[in-house]
Structures are given as C-alpha cells and as structure tokens.
C-alpha cells in the first residue's frame, strides 16, 4: 500500500525516484507522483494509473535536481485522481504520506477556521497545511513537523521536502514502514528495501515515533519528543538482482520457480543429522528456562493464515499442545483467552500487516511469548516479537504470495519438530527420519514444478469456469484454501476451498457438470475418505482434477490427473500447493490479467 521514496545526494533525483517507485509497484497503487527541487523551484508531476503514465509525462533530461520525493498512492481518502495524487504542497511544505490520518476531518475543520483551503479530498493535504501552520510560529521545518505530528492521530510514514531548502529532507514514521538507506554522499528514504538496494545495502529500519532529517552526508533521528535517538545500521544481504524478473514473464512465475532454492536457504544451518533441528533464534526465549507453554496461538492474514492452518495440524499431532489459529483482523477485536503460558506466533511475509501487528501486540500485552515468522529483516513484527524465525525467501514482489508461503511452511515444520523435541514427544529415530526427509525437500519441490506442462495444458480447459471448487482434508484443507485464494486474486475467478468432508453439508449444491473440482489426494490415512468425496462430486457430473501420487488415483475416476512425487506425509502440503500456484498463474496468464499487480490488491497491507 502506498510507496514512498525520498532522495538527496549527487545523482539526478528523478531517476532514483522513478526507479525506486518501480521497485515499490508491487505494493499496489492507483496513481503516482514526484516532486524535485531544481533551480529554487519545486517541479511536480502527478498522474493517475500505472507508473508508466507518469514516466511518459516526464522529460528526465530537463530534470536534473538532486533532491526529490516520490509516491505511489493506493486510494483511501478520495478517489484515485491526479488532484488527490501525492506529493501535496502548501507553501514551503511538499509532502508524501503512507497511512491514514484518523482525525483528519477534525483537523480540516480547525484549519479551515484559520483560513486554510484545500484542493484535494485527501487526509495527506491536511498534514501539509498542519505543518505549514506550525511553520508560521516556529519558522523551522523540523520543530514544525514535530508539533504538527503531535496533533495527528493515525498511522503515517511521511517524507517532507522544504521548497526553500534543497539540502535537507525530513521524515517521520508511526505505524507505516519507512527505511533509511545510507549511501556514499547520498541518502534515500523508502517504504521498503527493494527501492534502495541498487544504491546501498546499509540501512536503518526506522521505528514508530522516529522523526528525523537527512542531508546528502548526514542523518539525525529523534523520538516523538524531539530527543536524539540512535538506531542500529543493518547490512542487508538481499542482492539487487533478487528484485528483478530474471527473464521470467512475471515476478510471480519467477518466485514460484525459485521455491526449491529458497526452501533450501530457509533450511540451511537449521537441520543436521547430529543435532536434529537447530533454531538458535529461540535460545534466549526458551534457553535454560522451563518450557512453560500450554497453548499456541497463531495470528496472521491471508496466505500467512493458511500457513498457520497447516501448522495447527502438525503441532497438535506431534506435540500434543492445543493450537488456535485466528485471522488477525478478528482476533484483535475479540477478547481472546491468552495468558503467560501462551506462545503466540505471528506470521507475516512483510512484517508490516496492520492487523497482524495489532493482534500480536494484544497477545504480548496479555503476557504471551511472541515469535514472529517473517521474511523481511528489521520489519515491525520482528521488532515487536521476543524472537523471530526468518523465512529466507528473498524479496517477494508478485502481490500473490507463493515462495513466502512455502518458506513459511518450511519454518513452521522446523518449529514443530523443534517443539516436539523440546517436549520430548518425538523419538530420536523419528526425528532423524524427518530431518532426512527435509533434506530432500528442495529436490521434491523441483519435481512438483515439473508438473508445469500438464498444468498449463489443463489451465486452458478451466479458463472459462466459474466457480472452481478446491477440496482437501487435514493439512491439505488450508492448502486448498490457498489454491482458491490464488485463483481469485490473479485470475478474478470465483473459487472456493472446502474441507472435503463438509461438501455434503451444503457446498455440494453448487456442483454440476459446469463446476470443476480440484481435489488433493495425498497418500495417507485420509486417502480413502478423499476418494469417497471425489465420488460424490463426480456422481453429480463435475469434472475432477486430481492431484496426488500416481498409485493413489482411483481407477476410472477423474477427468485429469497431476502426478506428485512420493514424500513424507508431513511435507506434502509444501509440494501440493505448487501445481495450484501454477494453475492460477497459467489461467491468469492466458486471460491476460495483471498478474504481478492484480486489481484492488496491495502487497503490504499497512492500514486496517
């Protein structure tokens, strides 16, 4: 949601801003804009729709200023129009903003009484006027921003340019992400790491309440009261190339095919024949202390919530601890029973999802120990948590999550094994067996990817179907929810995932010869049950696509089959989601939708 870039240094700012905004496109947006100071003038360009529209408007040769700010806007207050696009300006104050100012109507009324008038429908323009109003008294930008923000309720990351001072940029963050990149004779502010990677890997992840100022060579950070604060400078290990398409048609396809590699990275150093599962990240939290956990509570949204759904089956079956899985947006507004013996696990690819952060905060406030499962170093959830288990998926740019999901599952399976060992619920030989199986996981995911040709051919057949039903049982129930979500997100096809045993309690009424059913039938205790469920839908004329090991396909049933490799039954969710990701991708590709940035969606949902 909304992307911010601010640049000050010795390069042409416009190139850095546009390049940065391109790397933030994945966040979702519907208008964009930039402002650069040049020859004592602020030159602003704004445009509705894709960044390409903005780029077309700008003659880079004419713009040589070395300080500027840029923004991609995901409309909340006010429609996606050029007037509502950022940057906004009032007098000296030129500003971009990500977040929501909750008391903006109240502030607007007060400012109107003081003679201010507004051109846009946005809450952001109010911020500009608020700073400009404070400037009348303080004359200096930093205290004016500080005073203005003291009046604001809501979430924000802002970058402010002073039209009368091209040597500084100002920033503040409260509830929305902002990263500071420290270069040689240049500094960059951005909503996320990929916008900065090409210039430097030295970064400061700003914290809530941080405000500050940067010049080309210096940076200063203050807390909400104006007291100087020190922040750790992190060295980011992501490679700029990781955030490029690398010859693939879409980021999503690239990310699907990266899964064997990133799962391998996620496992690296965490499993060994001698020690089983090693998670040093948890040492401090549980090290010498008695393991006093009687309940595990997952909070997450969307795809990350599906990963939690799989982990529930794993942990309950191997560790014998009750597990609750909640949608963060629901959890935060109920009165959950959480105590000191609760271990809360917040799963978030981005680490910035507003609902997940609020849910995790609530659990922590009530005394729970908090672990984050996250892909982004230094992100908000990692700072909130007592410990973080990083997925090592690299930057995920496609809005629809793929490699983040399978690396989350990998980490959650490691956590399950670690817990079962800690609780002495698993025998050494069984653990050794599972560690052996894990070593083969990247290779098995590679084999799952080999289904691509078959999937692509089938996608043509399913292209005009709606709805599409997905059915699965046990750990594969959350996987079919994920398969259906992928199809909805990128192909805009109505799809639903069902626990196969639930069909006859209602959803089977949907089934006829025009409704395709995709069924996951891995080897195991539930195979016979799944076959019965497939019979139920086949008897009603549905064409059934079965995904499973070759010897599991019941004879004479199913319209199509996708064979999967043999694997330890715990690992099959990680393998079986792969053809579902490819299936959604291929249908969307044939339909020609905007796969990496599907309509109405944002990658990082930083507001409620």
Residues contacting 153, CB < 8 A, separation 6+: 101, 102, 103
d(CA 62, CA 201): 30
Look at residue 208 and give its three-state secondary structure. coil
Which residue matches tokens 């639930």? 502
d(CA 267, CA 13): 40
Name which of 134 and 606 has its Cβ closer to ligand F6R: 606
d(CA 456, CA 251): 17
Q: Report which of 363, 329, 351, 473 is spatially closest to residue 408, judged by C-alpha positions.
A: 351
Q: Report which of 8, 66, 15, 16 is spatially closest to residue 39, judged by C-alpha positions.
A: 66
Residues contacting 605, CB < 8 A, separation 6+: 1, 301, 353, 354, 355
User: Encoding tokens for residue 1?
Assistant: 């949601």
The secondary element (H helix, E strand) that includes residue 556 is none
d(CA 90, CA 454): 58
Which residue matches tokens 């990677």? 197
For residue 485, the minimal CB distance to ligand F6R (Å) is 6
d(CA 484, CA 48): 31
User: Encoding tokens for residue 325?
Assistant: 């899985």
| Residue pair 499/477 in contact by the 8 Å Cβ criterion | yes
Name which of 304 and 342 has its Cβ closer to ligand F6R: 304
d(CA 306, CA 235): 31
User: Encoding tokens for residue 2?
Assistant: 């909304």
Name which of 552 and 605 has its Cβ closer to ligand F6R: 605
For residue 103, the minimal CB distance to ligand F6R (Å) is 26
Name which of 66 and 348 has its Cβ closer to ligand F6R: 348
For residue 350, the minimal CB distance to ligand F6R (Å) is 3
For residue 571, the minimal CB distance to ligand F6R (Å) is 21
Which residue matches tokens 């690239």? 254
Name which of 22 and 348 has its Cβ closer to ligand F6R: 348
Name which of 124 and 379 has its Cβ closer to ligand F6R: 379
Crossing angle for the helix pair 302-319 and 403-422, nearest 10 degrees?
A: 20
User: Encoding tokens for residue 12?
Assistant: 């042409």
SS3 of 158-218: EEEEECCEEEEEEEEEEECCCEEEECCCCEEEECCHHHCCCCCCEEEECCCCCEEEECCCC
For residue 489, the minimal CB distance to ligand F6R (Å) is 6
For residue 353, the minimal CB distance to ligand F6R (Å) is 3
For residue 163, the minimal CB distance to ligand F6R (Å) is 36
Name which of 6 and 302 has its Cβ closer to ligand F6R: 302
Name which of 38 and 401 has its Cβ closer to ligand F6R: 401
Name which of 127 and 358 has its Cβ closer to ligand F6R: 358
Name which of 326 and 489 has its Cβ closer to ligand F6R: 489
Q: Which residues bind ligand F6R (CB under 6 A)?
A: 301-304, 348-350, 353, 356, 400-401, 485, 489, 605
Which residue matches tokens 């959830």? 381
Which residue matches tokens 């030129």? 94
Name which of 7 and 251 has its Cβ closer to ligand F6R: 251
SS3 of 287-319: CCCCCCCCEEEEEECHHHHHHHHHHHHHHHHHH
Numbers of helices and strands, H then E, in the chain:
19, 26
d(CA 212, CA 219): 7
190 beta partners: 5, 179
For residue 347, the minimal CB distance to ligand F6R (Å) is 7
Look at residue 48 and give its three-state secondary structure. strand
Q: What does the buried/exposed string (b/e) look like for 74-87 if buried means 16 or more CB atoms within 10 Å of the residue's CB?
A: bbebbeebeebbbb
For residue 22, the minimal CB distance to ligand F6R (Å) is 20
For residue 296, the minimal CB distance to ligand F6R (Å) is 18
Which residue matches tokens 């009348």? 136
| Residue pair 79/24 in contact by the 8 Å Cβ criterion | no
For residue 454, the minimal CB distance to ligand F6R (Å) is 23
User: Encoding tokens for residue 241?
Assistant: 């190339």
Active site residues: 2, 603
For residue 176, the minimal CB distance to ligand F6R (Å) is 14
When CB distances to ligand F6R are compared, the closest residue is 302
Q: Report which of 435, 441, 420, 395 is spatially closest to residue 311, judged by C-alpha positions.
A: 420
d(CA 220, CA 365): 31
Name which of 12 and 348 has its Cβ closer to ligand F6R: 348
| Residue pair 581/535 in contact by the 8 Å Cβ criterion | no
């Amino acid at each position: 949601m909304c992307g911010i870039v601010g640049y000050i240094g010795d390069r042409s700012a416009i190139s850095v801003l546009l390049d940065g905004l391109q790397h933030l496109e994945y966040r979702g947006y519907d208008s964009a804009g930039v402002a650069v100071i040049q020859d004592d003038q602020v030159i602003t360009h704004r445009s509705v729709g894709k960044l390409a529209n903005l780029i077309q408007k700008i003659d880079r040769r004419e713009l040589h200023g070395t300080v500027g700010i840029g923004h991609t806007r995901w409309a909340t207050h006010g429609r996606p129009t050029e007037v509502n696009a950022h940057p906004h300006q009032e007098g000296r104050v030129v500003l971009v903003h990500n977040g929501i100012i909750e008391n903006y109507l109240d502030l607007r009324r007060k400012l109107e009484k003081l003679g201010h008038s507004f051109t846009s429908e946005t809450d952001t323009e109010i911020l500009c006027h608020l700073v400009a109003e404070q400037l009348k008294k303080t004359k200096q930008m930093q205290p004016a921003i500080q005073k203005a923000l003291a009046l604001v309720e809501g979430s924000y990351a802002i970058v402010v340019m002073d039209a009368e001072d091209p040597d500084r940029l100002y920033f503040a963050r409260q509830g929305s992400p902002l990263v500071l990149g420290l270069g040689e004779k240049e500094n960059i502010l951005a909503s996320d790491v990929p916008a900065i990677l090409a210039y430097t890997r030295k970064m400061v992840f700003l914290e809530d309440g941080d405000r500050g100022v940067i010049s080309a060579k210096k940076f200063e950070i203050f807390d909400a009261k104006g007291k100087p604060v020190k922040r750790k400078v992190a060295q980011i290990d992501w490679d700029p190339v990781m955030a490029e398409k690398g010859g693939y048609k879409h980021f999503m396809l690239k990310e699907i095919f990266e899964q064997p590699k990133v799962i391998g990275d996620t496992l690296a150093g965490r499993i060994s024949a001698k020690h089983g599962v090693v998670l040093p990240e948890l040492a401090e939290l549980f090290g010498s202390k008695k393991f006093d956990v009687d309940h595990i509570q997952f909070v997450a949204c969307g795809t990350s919530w599906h990963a939690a759904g799989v982990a529930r089956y794993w942990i309950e079956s191997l560790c014998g601890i009750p597990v609750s899985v909640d949608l963060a947006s629901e959890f935060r507004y109920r009165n959950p029973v959480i105590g000191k013996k609760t271990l809360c696990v917040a799963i978030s690819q981005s680490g910035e999802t507003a609902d997940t952060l609020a849910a995790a905060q609530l659990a922590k406030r009530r005394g729970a120990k908090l672990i984050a499962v996250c892909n982004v170093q230094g992100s908000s959830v990692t700072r909130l948590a007592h410990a973080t288990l990083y997925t090592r998926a690299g930057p995920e740019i496609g809005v629809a999550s793929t490699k983040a999901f399978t690396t989350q599952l990998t980490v959650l399976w490691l956590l399950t094994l670690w817990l079962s060992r800690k609780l002495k619920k698993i025998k050494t030989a069984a653990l050794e067996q599972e560690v052996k199986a894990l070593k083969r996981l990247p290779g098995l995911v590679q084999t799952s990817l080999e289904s691509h040709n078959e999937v692509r051919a089938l996608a043509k057949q399913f292209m005009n179907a709606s709805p599409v039903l997905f059915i699965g049982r046990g750990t594969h129930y959350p996987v079919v929810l994920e398969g259906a979500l992928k199809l909805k997100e990128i192909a805009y096809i109505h799809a639903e995932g069902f626990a196969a045993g639930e069909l006859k309690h209602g959803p089977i009424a949907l089934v006829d010869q025009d409704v395709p059913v995709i069924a996951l039938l891995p080897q195991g205790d539930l195979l016979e049950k799944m076959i019965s469920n497939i019979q139920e839908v086949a008897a009603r004329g549905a064409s059934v696509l079965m995904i499973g090991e070759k010897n599991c396909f019941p004879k004479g049933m199913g319209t199509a089959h996708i064979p999967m490799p043999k694997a330890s039954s715990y690992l099959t969710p990680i393998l079986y989601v792969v053809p579902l990701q490819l299936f959604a991708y291929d249908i969307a590709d044939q339909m020609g939708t905007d796969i990496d940035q599907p309509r109405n969606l944002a990658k990082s949902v930083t507001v409620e």
